[in-house]
A and B are shown apart, each in its own frame.
Chain A
Amino acid sequence: MRTVEELLKIAPGKYDITVFGEEPYGNYNRIMLSPVLTGEKTIEEIMINDLTWYEGNGITLHAGLDKAVVNIDRRNRKVIAKDGTEARYDRLLLSTGSNPFIIPLPGHDLKGVIAFRDIADVNTMLAAAREQKNAVIIGAGLLGLEAANGLMTQGMNVTVIHDLDVLMNRQLDQPAAKLLLSSLQKRGMTFKMAAATREIHGNNKGHVVAISFEDGDKLPADLVVMAVGVRPNIALAEKVGLQCNRGVLVDDTMQTFDPCIYAVGECIEHRGNIFGLVAPLFEQAKVCANHLAEFGFGKYFNSATATKLKVTGIDLFSAGDFISDENSEDIVFQDPHGGVYKKVVVEDNKIKGTVLYGDTMDGPWYFQMMKDGTDISEIRDRLLFGQAHLGNSGTEGAGAVANLPDHAEICGCNGICKGDIVKAIAADNLFTLDDVRDATKASASCGSCTGLVEQLILETLGGDYNETEKRKSICRCTEYSHDEIRAVIPDKNLKTIRAVTEFLKFSNPDGCHVCRPAINYYLLAQWPGEYKDDSRSRFTNERMHANIQKDNTYSVVPRMWGGLTTPKELRAIADAAEKYNVPTVKVTGGQRIDLLGVKKEDLPKIWKDLNDAGMVSGHAYGKSLRTVKTCVGSKHCRFGTQDAMGMGIEIEKLTWGSWTPAKVKIAVSGCPRNCAESTIKDFGVVAVDSGWELYVGGNGGMKVRVSDFLTKVSSGDDVKEYACAFIQMYREQGHHNERTAPWIERVGLSYVKEELVENDTQRKELYARFLESQKYAQIDPWAERASKGVDVADFIPLKVLG
């Protein structure tokens, strides 16, 4: 059904949709059956789409036992249900799910022997719990333990049988399993490990009464739940001759061997894998919908999944490949008495998997680094102590959200607290970041709390969380990510915003305030000199070349190269401030003078005056080079080792005017005392006696990040080449609105070093591309508007009445 939802989102009305289903309900969230069993949730609460939803979307639903599809006539393209109902199809989607595996023990067909799979099973268990005493669960996997816990909560005596001596062997290693075992035993659960079952015994009414084992043991049992795994349900597919192995075989587009038939979910086999968790299913649904809508460019690649045991009071987190082999290393923290165990498996400095027990706070963080392939060599020694011990650098705002109290404010723009978000996720069945934004407004304004909100979603939903960082869509106009949109521009030779949004079938061809400025930037960066900047796709600041203030006036900051000025310039600034009644004159953090409170109509006039005194726009408003801040350096300072001011001026003259994904700040310090604060800049230069040290990815804003050391060079020309090549690499790879700090964390410092430091050819090519694009960028936007008539209408009223 998720595929249908995705399809309705991107191509409503393309198909007449008919759904056949064996269960007499709409669709519900199977993962949440455990909380229903414990009584923490009701069936109504886990329904995703009820019957009215089907009606509302014009979908024909055939639900009920006699509506089970029994045959597919592939030649005539129709499906046939048990009661003879037929439906023709152009495209058919199989999502027959999986069947629980029932061990063919003698007595497996007795009454009271069930699986844990659907609402009917849950109802049987609840009924048994009301009247009977002894429950035996076969299988100590995730599902088995959840069933055991549920039945115990309902008051039954529960014994769990497992054929191995490790609990949850798919998710846990031995030490973690031991901790879990003792904690469940303390709660009153009984275990029989490494046990071989022989027979299930019944009474004369055909109801189960006991279970016996090869070792001669016998246990009383009024209810036996088999939770020993699932098998893809391929009966129908096999019957109609679709190629199957363990599951229905599909390719990366979710297509089966019959091009009219697609399949998703637990019934499929994709590149040798079968699936049991929600997250990959959602991913498959997206890809499948993309192809059903005939967009033809979604591709499924098996994504990593994380598991959380949904047993209240037990903290357990497992993700990826957590059993080490000869190529990987374990980093382990063990405190058996305190009930804490943490293991992170690392290969080539990247996280491969993790098992956490007792303290799972950092699970989502490890999982994110695992999915992103983050290089952990720099934080390896502190990795197990968790994110909170990393200091503020590198955390991307995700400072351990799990241990925040419910009243902690997460979204500062809209005043949304942690409790509000967690409650909304549970109450409204929210799965994605957009869902949460819609329902709570959290992360919907400036977006700086997005990391926190994502952590909260992951924390609350565990493996059900639906976003894979690298594939996040840019905004709600489209399913595609920044990287996918960027890639399609040169690939398909797209040269206008409209061409991009139409090719990618955006829901609104105008896009929105998020995607349009981004696409405008990507086109500008891709086609320098050729693409004409679209001022209507610029935020007002970049359109007006001034920074809008809360009262709709603007601020004006003239450029002062390297932070240096002259009496003549200062006089001109003072004159302009008086002439246009500027209420506030302030020195900025980047060593410039800010004239605040200028009226929109006065902008071209004040610019003209500043232009006449030899000054140009300081770009204090743009996603562009802001300032190059300098200290005094060797020219005057007794400690200075190099000419920091001179170097700052040269870098600023080279780099001003360039448009970048987000703002770029540079600084040059004349000695390691670092008075220009170079180590919290996007590109920082620190002079030493023997040359210049170069730093990248610093940030002094809301998340302070100390920059990373890139390399040391000896000549001033090298400094300039590196500065330009670094900016160009960021221009070509950064996401719109992503500063260099998160960009570097995303791609990894070692990658940036490989491209810039170790690869001379690459660096020189980046440098050359930067200089080429600067030919078209170093035009003073103020002079264009003040003297050359560009966009003048933006500054004056259309008409003044009365």
Chain B
Amino acid sequence: MRNWIEIGALNDIPRLGSRVVRTKNCEIAVFRTENDDVFALHDQCPHQHGALSQGIVHGNRVTCPLHNWVISLEDGEAQGRDTGCTRTFNVKLDGDTVLLEV
């Protein structure tokens, strides 16, 4: 069963920033870009498990705080010559409310 769960208001997440949603299985990083798009990734860099929620957000990408891998927020893929992928989650806005599919 998949369903959309309300996780907070858009303004709870800083622009060019991220907040974490803790589930039973893992931590999910929810990102907000400069244009108020929202994305959600497993909060773990494919390289050495750095917390992507702590990285710097630029465009639709985030830079991991541990070794500067750049991960696409859209598909979780490592950019440039790095290879690896982080799981993505569906997230959407309903007005100002952020909904996450779990």
Whether chain B is bound by chain A comes out as: yes
Residues of A within 8 A of B (CB): 413, 438-441, 444-445, 508-513, 516-517, 535-541, 543-544, 548, 550-552, 793, 797-802
Determine if B37 is an interface residue (Cβ-Cβ < 8 Å): no
Q: Which residues of B contact A552 (CB under 8 A)?
A: 49-51, 54
Q: Which residues of B contact A551 (CB under 8 A)?
A: 49
A801-B21 contact, Cβ under 8 Å, with A512-B63, A536-B14: yes
Q: Which residues of B contact A510 (CB under 8 A)?
A: 16, 33-34, 57-59
B21 contact from A538, A540, A799, Cβ within 8 A: A799
B7 contact from A512, A517, A799, Cβ within 8 A: A799
A550 contact from B48, B58, B63, Cβ within 8 A: B48
Determine if B19 is an interface residue (Cβ-Cβ < 8 Å): yes
Indicate if the CB atoms of A793 and B67 lie closer than 8 Å. no
Indicate if the CB atoms of A798 and B58 lie closer than 8 Å. no
**Main SS class of interface, B:** loop
Q: With both chains docked as a complex, state the minimum distance between the C-beta of B21 and any C-beta of chain A, in angstroms.
A: 5
Proximity bits, B9-24, A CB within 8 Å = 1, else 0? 0001111110111111
Q: Which residues of B contact A509 (CB under 8 A)?
A: 34
Q: With both chains docked as a complex, state the minimum distance between the C-beta of A544 and any C-beta of chain B, in angstroms.
A: 7
Q: Which residues of B contact A538 (CB under 8 A)?
A: 56
Q: Show 16 A/B contacts (Cβ-Cβ < 8 Å), sorted by A.
A: A439-B81, A444-B80, A445-B68, A508-B58, A510-B58, A512-B63, A512-B70, A516-B58, A536-B17, A540-B51, A548-B50, A548-B51, A552-B54, A797-B21, A798-B30, A801-B24
Q: With both chains docked as a complex, state the minimum distance between the C-beta of B34 and any C-beta of chain A, in angstroms.
A: 5
A510-B16, A512-B58, A536-B16 given; name 17 further pairs at CB < 8 Å. Answer: A440-B81, A444-B80, A510-B33, A513-B68, A536-B14, A540-B65, A543-B54, A548-B66, A550-B48, A550-B66, A797-B19, A798-B30, A799-B22, A801-B7, A801-B23, A801-B24, A801-B102
Determine if B76 is an interface residue (Cβ-Cβ < 8 Å): no
Q: Which residues of B contact A516 (CB under 8 A)?
A: 56, 58
Interface residues on B, range: 35 or more
Q: Which of B5, B58, B59 has the most CB of A within 10 A?
A: B58
Q: Which residues of A contact B84 (CB under 8 A)?
A: none
Determine if B46 is an interface residue (Cβ-Cβ < 8 Å): no
A793-B14 contact, Cβ under 8 Å, with A539-B65, A799-B8: yes
Least CB separation from A541: chain B residue: B65
Indicate if the CB atoms of A798 and B34 lie closer than 8 Å. no
Least CB separation from B98: chain A residue: A798
A513 to B61, CA, bound (A): 10
Indicate if the CB atoms of A802 and B23 lie closer than 8 Å. yes
Q: Which residues of B contact A801 (CB under 8 A)?
A: 5, 7, 21-24, 102
Q: With both chains docked as a complex, state the minimum distance between the C-beta of B69 and any C-beta of chain A, in angstroms.
A: 9
A540 contact from B48, B55, B102, Cβ within 8 A: B55
Q: Which of B16, B30, B55 has the most CB of A within 10 A?
A: B16
Least CB separation from B20: chain A residue: A797
A798 contact from B21, B49, B65, Cβ within 8 A: B21
Q: With both chains docked as a complex, state the minimum distance between the C-beta of A557 and any C-beta of chain B, in angstroms.
A: 18
Indicate if the CB atoms of A511 and B58 lie closer than 8 Å. yes
Q: Which residues of B contact A539 (CB under 8 A)?
A: 56, 65
Indicate if the CB atoms of A800 and B55 lie closer than 8 Å. no
Least CB separation from A414: chain B residue: B81
Q: With both chains docked as a complex, state the minimum distance between the C-beta of A520 and any C-beta of chain B, in angstroms.
A: 10
Least CB separation from B102: chain A residue: A801
Q: Which residues of A contact B13 (CB under 8 A)?
A: 798
B12 contact from A511, A536, A793, Cβ within 8 A: A793
Least CB separation from A508: chain B residue: B59
List B24-38 residues whose CB lies under 8 Å from chain A.
24, 27, 30, 33-34
A438-B57 contact, Cβ under 8 Å, with A413-B67, A802-B24: no
Q: With both chains docked as a complex, state the minimum distance between the C-beta of A515 and any C-beta of chain B, in angstroms.
A: 9
Q: Which residues of A contact B80 (CB under 8 A)?
A: 438, 444
Q: With both chains docked as a complex, state the minimum distance between the C-beta of A793 and any C-beta of chain B, in angstroms.
A: 7
Q: With both chains docked as a complex, state the minimum distance between the C-beta of B59 and any C-beta of chain A, in angstroms.
A: 5
Q: Which of B33, B49, B81 has the most CB of A within 10 A?
A: B81
Indicate if the CB atoms of B55 and A798 lie closer than 8 Å. no
Indicate if the CB atoms of B56 and A798 lie closer than 8 Å. no
Least CB separation from B50: chain A residue: A552
Q: Which residues of B contact A537 (CB under 8 A)?
A: 16, 56
Least CB separation from A551: chain B residue: B49
Least CB separation from A538: chain B residue: B56
Q: Which residues of B contact A511 (CB under 8 A)?
A: 58
Least CB separation from A511: chain B residue: B58
Q: 5 closest A-B pairs (Cβ-Cβ)?
A: A798-B19, A513-B63, A540-B54, A540-B65, A510-B58
Least CB separation from A800: chain B residue: B22
A445 to B68, CA, bound (A): 7
A517 to B68, CA, bound (A): 13
Q: Which residues of B contact A541 (CB under 8 A)?
A: 65
Indicate if the CB atoms of A441 and B54 lie closer than 8 Å. no
Q: With both chains docked as a complex, state the minimum distance between the C-beta of A534 and any C-beta of chain B, in angstroms.
A: 8
Least CB separation from A548: chain B residue: B65
A444 to B66, CA, bound (A): 14
Q: Which residues of B contact A543 (CB under 8 A)?
A: 54
Indicate if the CB atoms of A513 and B51 lie closer than 8 Å. no
Q: With both chains docked as a complex, state the minimum distance between the C-beta of A375 and any C-beta of chain B, in angstroms.
A: 34
Indicate if the CB atoms of A536 and B7 lie closer than 8 Å. no
Least CB separation from B65: chain A residue: A540
Q: Which residues of A contact B81 (CB under 8 A)?
A: 438-441, 444
A736 to B24, CA, bound (A): 41
A537 to B58, CA, bound (A): 9
Least CB separation from A515: chain B residue: B58
Q: With both chains docked as a complex, state the minimum distance between the C-beta of A737 and any C-beta of chain B, in angstroms.
A: 12
A798-B8 contact, Cβ under 8 Å, with A512-B58, A517-B56, A539-B56: yes
Least CB separation from A791: chain B residue: B14
Q: Which residues of A contact B17 (CB under 8 A)?
A: 536
A536 to B5, CA, bound (A): 27
Q: Which residues of B contact A793 (CB under 8 A)?
A: 12, 14, 19
Q: Which residues of A contact B63 (CB under 8 A)?
A: 512-513
Q: With both chains docked as a complex, state the minimum distance between the C-beta of A454 and any C-beta of chain B, in angstroms.
A: 19
Indicate if the CB atoms of A513 and B56 lie closer than 8 Å. yes
Least CB separation from B63: chain A residue: A513
A221 to B38, CA, bound (A): 75
Q: Which of A509, A513, A800 has the most CB of B within 10 A?
A: A513
A798-B102 contact, Cβ under 8 Å, with A512-B58, A544-B54, A548-B65: no
Q: With both chains docked as a complex, state the minimum distance between the C-beta of A421 and any C-beta of chain B, in angstroms.
A: 13
Q: Which residues of B contact A440 (CB under 8 A)?
A: 81
Q: With both chains docked as a complex, state the minimum distance between the C-beta of A790 and any C-beta of chain B, in angstroms.
A: 12
A801 to B102, CA, bound (A): 10
Q: Which residues of B contact A517 (CB under 8 A)?
A: 56
A438 to B16, CA, bound (A): 26
A541 to B34, CA, bound (A): 22
Least CB separation from A537: chain B residue: B56
Q: Which of B14, B33, B54, B82 has the most CB of A within 10 A?
A: B54
A158 to B53, CA, bound (A): 67
Q: With both chains docked as a complex, state the minimum distance between the C-beta of B33 and any C-beta of chain A, in angstroms.
A: 8
Q: With both chains docked as a complex, state the minimum distance between the C-beta of B6 and any C-beta of chain A, in angstroms.
A: 8
Q: With both chains docked as a complex, state the minimum distance between the C-beta of A124 and any C-beta of chain B, in angstroms.
A: 42
Indicate if the CB atoms of B20 and A513 lie closer than 8 Å. no
Least CB separation from A544: chain B residue: B54
Q: With both chains docked as a complex, state the minimum distance between the C-beta of A438 and any C-beta of chain B, in angstroms.
A: 7
Q: With both chains docked as a complex, state the minimum distance between the C-beta of B25 and any C-beta of chain A, in angstroms.
A: 9
A539 to B33, CA, bound (A): 17
Q: Which residues of A contact B102 (CB under 8 A)?
A: 801
Q: Which residues of A contact B30 (CB under 8 A)?
A: 798
Indicate if the CB atoms of B58 and A513 lie closer than 8 Å. yes
Q: With both chains docked as a complex, state the minimum distance between the C-beta of A316 and any C-beta of chain B, in angstroms.
A: 35
